[in-house]
Amino acid sequence: MRGAEFRVGLTHDFLTPDGTFVFGDIGLQILDDVPAICREFLPPFTDEIPPTVADQYDALLVLSPRVTESTVADCRRLKLIARFGVGYDNVDTAACTRHGVMLTITPDGVRRPVAASAMAFLLALSHRLLTKDRLTREGRWDEKLHHMGVGLTGRTLGIIGLGNIGREIVTLARPFGLNFLAFDPFVSSEFAQECGVQLADLDDLMRQSDFVCVACALTDETRYLLDDRTLQLMKSTAFLINVSRGPVVDQAALTRLLLEERIAGAALDVFETEPIATSDPLLSLDNVILSPHAVCWTDELFLGNGRAACRSIVKVAAGEIPEHVVNRDVLQEPRLMQKLSGGIDAGQ
C-alpha cells in the first residue's frame, strides 16, 4: 500500500429501512476486492451532505442527497463524488472544481436501459397500449375499433440531445424503419450523419416529428427548452416522450396541449416537481403514460451504474484519473493533484 486506507462513503438512500439494498447487486464487490479500500454507509440525510461528514472520506458514492458548496469547501481529503447515474443536478459542479473534487457519472450503465425505456414508451404510445389495456379491464371490448394505433415505418422520430442515450435510442429504433431528426447544438452534421441522423433546428424538428423524445441533460440552457411556443409547433398527431429531466419541458404548457388534444399524447418519466402532486391534472388524462422517474429501473441499470461508479473509485484510489469526469477543469487544480499523490496500490 502506497498510502493510507482509502475511505468510501455511500449515501444512506441505497438502503431500505430494514437495511437491505434498494437496488440489489450494484457491483460493490469491485470495491471489496481492493483490501485498502474501506466502504461504509453515511448517516441518513434529508437534504445535503454536511462537510463534517464529507471530509471523513476520500470518495462519496452519491444517489440523491445534494452536494453543495458547503459540503466540499473545507474538505482536505475528499477527491471524488461518484454520482450513481448520469444526472448531476444535485451536485454543485463548480464548487467541486474550485475545491479540487472530481465529479464522475455513469453513462455506460444507463445507456441501454434508458434507451430501451424510451422505446418502450414509443411502442406503447404508437399501439395505444394503455387505452387498450383499459378497454379490456373495463369490459369495453366493442370500442377497440375507435383506438387505432400508429405504424412506425416511415414515421419520424425527433431526438432532442444526440448524446450517449440519444445515439442508443437511434440504434434500437432503426430496425423499425423510422426516419431520424436530432437537435443538438454540440454535435456536428458529420457526426450526426455517421449516426444515421439528420440534424435540424429545434423548430423544424418539432414541426416534422411524429414522435419527439427528450434525451438531453438539464442545464441552464435546456431548462424550459420546450416551452409553450415550441410545443405548439408539434403535429396534432404527434407524441412527446421525456426520459430526461422534467424541467426541460414546460409542464403546464404541455398539460394544456394534452387537455385540448392538440397533440396525440405523451409518455413522461420525469416531472417539474417530483413526486408529482396527486392533484396534478396530468394524472386524470387518458392520453398520457406516466412513470415515477423509474421507467428504466432494471437489474441491468443498477448493476451497470454501480460497477461504473466503483471503477471510478478504484481508479482514484490508485491516484489515477477515472473516465467520465464531468468537471474536466478540475484536472488542472493543484489541490486535486496533491490529494491524488498518495494513491494506494489498487491492483490496476
* pLDDT tens per residue across span 115-164: 999 999 999 999 999 999 999 999 999 999 999 999 999 999 999 999 99
Residues in CB range of 210: below 8 A, 6 or more apart: 150, 155, 156, 157, 235, 237, 238, 239
β-sheet bridge partners, residue 280: none
Identify the active-site residue in 194, 261, 274, 323. 274
Identify the active-site residue in 112, 245, 307, 311. 245
| Confidence grade of residue 3 (pLDDT, cut at 50, 70, 90) | low
| Model pLDDT, residue 87 | 87
- On whether the pTM is more than 0.75, the answer is yes
* CB atoms near residue 133 (< 10 Å): 11
Catalytic residue status for 137? no
| Model pLDDT, residue 344 | 53
At 117-129, the pLDDT tens digits run 999 999 999 999 9
- The larger pLDDT score, comparing residue 348 to residue 320, is at 320
Q: Residue 348: pLDDT above 50?
A: no
At 88-114, the pLDDT tens digits run 989 999 999 999 999 999 999 999 999
At 221-256, the pLDDT tens digits run 999 999 999 999 999 999 999 999 999 999 999 999
Average pLDDT over residues 16-27: 95
Q: Residue 338: pLDDT above 80?
A: yes
Question: In the chain, what percentage of residues exceed pLDDT 90?
Answer: 94
The burial of 84, by beta-carbon neighbours within 10 Å (0-12 exposed, 13-18 middle, 19 or more buried), is given as: buried
| Confidence grade of residue 46 (pLDDT, cut at 50, 70, 90) | confident
Angle at 185 between CA 182 and CA 191, to 5 degrees: 65
Mean pLDDT for the chain overall:
95
| Model pLDDT, residue 343 | 54
Beta strands at 156-160 and 179-183: parallel, antiparallel or unpaired: parallel
At 57-82, the pLDDT tens digits run 999 999 999 999 999 998 999 999 99
State the cell numbers at 342: 498518495
Catalytic residue status for 274? yes
| Model pLDDT, residue 308 | 98
Q: Residue 2: pLDDT above 80?
A: no
| Model pLDDT, residue 45 | 83
Instruction: Give the residue among 226, 273, 264, 265 at the shortest CA–CA distance from 246.
Output: 273
| Model pLDDT, residue 341 | 83
Sketch out the chain's domains with CATH numbers: 6-108+298-340 (3.40.50.720), 111-290 (3.40.50.720)
Residue type, 150: V
